[in-house]
Amino acid sequence: MDDPICIGAIAGAFGVHGEVRLKSFTAQPEDIAAYGALSTEDGTQRFTITLTGQTKNGLLARLSGITSKEAADALRGTRLYAERAQLPTLPDDEYYHADLIGLEVYDTGGTLLGRVKSVLNHGASDLLEIHGPGLKDTVLLPFTLEAVPTVDLAAGRIVADPPDGLF
């Protein structure tokens, strides 16, 4: 829970003066610039972001220290991370996707169903991708209050009441 959280990625250069196309993974895309300096996954580089505009499927931005197209191109695919302390505190019924990945999932009878592999969102609502022993394929569990009544981050577990026939 102390690991940095990925909140964006650099999609490539834009123009010849070092601007980049930026994908934001924050609830409000423009908020990516409000978290202060962001670092690369290995922590060797830190960038302050200044938004300069929008483009299809992303934002345009200047990164501190990046002044050429070549430097911006070299960062293509680089993920940007914020420290957890930089992120806002969430209400009780909301969770960062990174906190859910790896949690064990039990049914309401206490039987282990599997572990959260990823959290997906294709527009309607979040889905927990569950994998584990005894599962031939991964299972997509709707992340709704009906299907997931309990998330206990401290214990590292989720209690699920999946729809009939899902598992």
Q: Do 71 and 136 fall within a single domain?
A: no
Same domain flag for 102 and 140: yes
Task: Return the pLDDT at 86.
Answer: 86
Domain count along the chain: 2
Q: Identify whether 167 is part of a domain.
A: no
User: Do 81 and 125 share a domain, yes or no?
Assistant: no
Mean pLDDT by runs of 10 across the 167 residues of the chain is 85 94 91 93 94 93 96 96 88 87 94 94 86 87 93 93 87
H or E stretch including 96? none
Alpha helices in 17-163 (DSSP H): 69-74, 97-100
Cβ atoms < 10 Å from Cβ of 150? 13
Relative to beta strand 157-160, strand 104-107 is parallel
| Residues 112 and 78 occupy one common structural domain | no
Question: Domain range holding 131?
Answer: 97-160
Which pLDDT does position 139 carry in this prediction?
A: 93
Sheet with strand 139-142: strands edge to edge:
139-142, 126-131, 112-121, 104-107, 157-160, 150-152
Cα–Cα distance for residue pair 104/114, rounded to 1 Å = 6
Q: Are 167 and 113 in contact (CB under 8 A)?
A: yes
pLDDT at 1: 53
- The answer as to whether 103 is a domain residue is yes
Closest CA to 112 of 56, 166, 157, 47: 157
Residue 49 included in any domain = yes
Q: What is the DSSP letter of 67?
A: -
Tell me whether residue 104 is in a domain. Answer: yes
- What pLDDT sits at residue 164? 86
**CATH code, 29:** 2.40.30.60
